[in-house]
């Protein structure tokens, strides 16, 4: 049976106090809506429809090809919101998950389980419910004497006895699509909030003797809706911990999970160790046996095996196996650090390729360079890659040796095995195996101090 999903996300999210629609607030590396889209996809929803209202333009830009977006111009209630998806589903005869866009902790496996139960029981509707010690604010699940679900009553419409019920409606459902939209149109806004409640569909179905099921959620935290930035930070902590727990379970050592920030989807190999105050973000992969941190921020990088990185920042780069980086290195986008390379302290590398076994150990700026294998770049070497208008390339061939405090004025090339004398400003190519010297020769003036002092 084919599965589709509608994500209700038209609300403004007033309590976020933000210009950004609530569902686009990022948590754990992506917008809340992104997590929900992932969860429904993981549950097997092949068609995904987002109901947007406030900030619809931004929502459309974000979802791209991951979902279709329909507009709910006025927020007349959750039933009215779901009705906006009718056109998109008019040829669809499978099952439909309905979820909210502000529940980033909801797991794909929970939704898959809900859909499975729905199918197995042949239900017209299946609710995801949870027991809450404090159910205030939620719709309550009212059951008949035989234990079957009878209807849902909202907090504001509930009688004192109904308010005692601890089983709540999580706002997550699975429906059979045939007949659903016709029934939604029967819902009236005759209630305390004057809204078209999606929850009323349950009573409509049960009164007709249709099969309505409920699946109880073990971990109620999963359906916690995010309404303000305090809840957002708590959800971030939960997501972070889940990611770290998964990594630890797969053989990664996280020394201090309270001070380690790893985005969902980051891959790390076995026996790697992540030290405190480290951020591994975006589309990053770390091989096995690495030690990353303390104090590093790595975004969108591919890192090989047995790499060591401490107190460093790396962005959109590749770092080969056996490389040692930092402390205090800054590796900027487009850099390819080869195997066994050493990038030392206070070194900035931008858009450069560094061959196997080369060393840039101290205080250098290397930009737009192509560096061969086993090159030694002395302390304080600077590529002068920019003339104020254009950027130029520096080439250092295999086994070149660049003396300390050299300026390499690009475009320029130092040939294989060549040596550049310390303190040189190299403006012309140095041939292979040559010595390039480009500085004033030292002159010593004998007895200069004595003559000065006798004046
Ligand atoms: C809803 C349920 C309640 C349940 C709770 C779980 C109804 C009537 N009640 O209440 O039983 O316990 O969720 O969190 O459904 N939305 C729209 N358009 C609208 C109205 C809402 O897109 O016109 C979206 C919101 O952006 C939000 C979601 O639907 O993502 C839920 O709406 P909300 O008003 O927060 O419903 P609750 O009062 O929380
Ligand atoms: Ca809500």
pLDDT at 424: 98
Tokens 């294989």 correspond to 416
Question: Two tokens at 188?
Answer: 């009236």
Cα(225) to ligand 1 centroid in Å equals 10
Ligand positioned closest to the Cα atom of 14? 1
Question: Two tokens at 385?
Answer: 């890659």
Strand partners, 329: 347
Pocket test for ligand 1, best of 54, 77, 100, 125 (most atoms within 8 A of CB): 100
Q: Which of 186, 205, 206 is nearest to 196 (CA)?
A: 186
pLDDT at 266: 96
Q: Output the CA angle 301-378-304, nearest 5 degrees.
A: 20
Cα(9) to ligand 1 centroid in Å equals 9
pLDDT at 1: 85
| Displacement of CA 401 from its chain's centroid (Å) | 41
Pocket test for ligand 1, best of 36, 53, 55, 78 (most atoms within 8 A of CB): 78
Strand order in the sheet with 369-371: 267-268, 285-286, 302-303, 318-319, 336-337, 353-354, 369-371, 394-396, 412-414
Cα(209) to ligand 1 centroid in Å equals 26
pLDDT at 190: 96
pLDDT at 203: 98
pLDDT at 377: 98
Residues with CB under 6 A from ligand 1: 8-11, 51, 72, 75-78, 80-81, 100-102, 138-139, 152, 154, 168-171, 197-199, 225
pLDDT at 455: 83
Active site residue 35: no
Task: List phi, psi (to 5°) of 341.
Answer: -85, 150
Q: Which residues contact 226 (CB under 8 A, 6 or more apart)?
A: 22, 25, 27, 32, 102, 103, 104, 232, 235
Indicate the SS3 state at residue 330: strand
**On the CB side of 303, how many CA atoms lie within 13 Å of its CA?**
34
Q: Which residues contact 60 (CB under 8 A, 6 or more apart)?
A: 52, 69
Cα(156) to ligand 1 centroid in Å equals 13
pLDDT at 12: 80
Give the residue, by CA position, lying nearest to ligand 1 atom 3.
139
Pocket test for ligand 1, best of 5, 7, 11 (most atoms within 8 A of CB): 11
pLDDT per position as a tens digit, 18-75:
999 999 999 988 999 999 999 999 999 999 999 999 999 999 999 999 999 999 999 9
Q: What is the DSSP code (8-state) at residue 53?
A: B
pLDDT at 29: 86
User: What string of DSSP letters covers 282-298?
Assistant: SS-EE-TT-EE-SS-EE
Cα(13) to ligand 2 centroid in Å equals 9
Tokens 């980086």 correspond to 325
- Which residues keep their CB under 5 angstroms from ion ligand 2? 225
pLDDT string in tens for the chain (455-residue length): 899 999 999 988 899 999 999 999 999 889 999 999 999 999 999 999 999 999 999 999 999 999 999 999 999 999 999 999 999 999 999 999 999 999 999 999 999 999 999 999 999 999 999 999 999 999 999 999 999 999 999 999 999 999 999 999 999 999 999 999 999 999 999 999 999 999 999 999 999 999 999 999 988 999 988 999 999 999 999 999 999 999 999 999 999 999 999 998 999 999 999 999 999 999 999 999 999 999 999 999 999 999 999 999 999 999 999 999 999 999 999 999 999 999 999 999 999 999 999 999 999 999 999 999 999 999 999 999 999 999 999 999 999 999 999 999 999 999 999 999 999 999 999 999 999 999 999 999 999 999 999 98
Strand partners, 426: 408
pLDDT per position as a tens digit, 169-210:
999 999 999 999 999 999 999 999 999 999 999 999 999 999
Record the pTM: 0.86
């Amino acid at each position: 049976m084919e599965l589709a999903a509608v994500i209700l996300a038209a609300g403004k999210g007033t309590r976020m106090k933000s210009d950004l629609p609530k569902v686009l607030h990022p948590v754990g590396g992506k917008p809340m809506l992104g997590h929900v889209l992932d969860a429904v996809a993981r549950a097997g929803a092949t068609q995904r429809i987002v109901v947007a209202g406030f900030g619809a333009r931004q929502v459309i830009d974000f979802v791209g090809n991951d979902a279709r977006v329909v507009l709910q111009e006025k927020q007349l209630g959750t039933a009215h919101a779901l009705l906006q998806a009718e056109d998109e589903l008019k040829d669809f005869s499978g099952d439909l998950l309905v979820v909210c866009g502000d529940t980033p902790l909801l797991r794909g496996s929970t939704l898959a389980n809900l859909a499975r139960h729905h199918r197995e029981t042949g239900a017209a509707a299946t609710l995801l419910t949870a027991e809450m010690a404090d159910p205030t604010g939620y719709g309550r699940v009212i059951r008949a004497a035989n234990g079957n679900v009878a209807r849902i009553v909202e907090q504001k419409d509930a009688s004192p006895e109904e308010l005692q019920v601890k089983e709540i409606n999580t706002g997550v459902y699975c429906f059979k699509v045939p007949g659903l939209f016709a029934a939604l149109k029967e819902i009236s806004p005759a209630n305390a909030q004057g809204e078209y409640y999606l929850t009323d569909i349950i009573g409509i179905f049960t009164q007709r003797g249709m099969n309505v099921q409920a699946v109880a959620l073990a971990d109620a935290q999963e359906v916690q809706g995010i309404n303000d930035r305090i809840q957002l930070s708590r959800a971030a902590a939960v997501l972070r911990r889940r990611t770290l727990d998964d990594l630890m379970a797969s053989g990664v050592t996280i020394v201090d999970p309270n001070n380690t920030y790893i985005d969902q989807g980051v891959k790390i190999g076995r026996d790697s160790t992540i030290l405190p105050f480290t951020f591994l973000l975006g589309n990053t992969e770390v091989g096995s046996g690495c030690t990353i941190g303390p104090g590093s921020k790595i975004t969108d990088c591919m890192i090989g095996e047995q790499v060591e990185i401490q107190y460093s920042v790396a962005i959109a780069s590749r770092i080969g196996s056996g490389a040692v980086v930092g402390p205090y290195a800054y590796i900027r986008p487009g850099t390819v650090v080869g195997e066994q390379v050493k990038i030392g302290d206070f070194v900035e590398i931008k858009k450069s390729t560094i061959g196997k076994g080369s060393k840039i150990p101290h205080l250098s700026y290397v930009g737009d360079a192509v560096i061969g294998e086993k090159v030694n770049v002395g302390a304080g070497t600077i590529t002068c890659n920019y003339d104020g208008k254009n950027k130029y390339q520096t080439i250092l061939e295999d086994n070149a040796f660049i003396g300390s405090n050299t300026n390499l004025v690009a475009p320029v090339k130092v040939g294989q095995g060549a040596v550049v004398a310390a303190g040189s400003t190299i403006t012309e190519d140095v041939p292979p195996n040559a010595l390039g010297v480009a500085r004033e020769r030292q002159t010593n003036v004998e007895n200069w101090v004595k003559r000065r002092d006798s004046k």
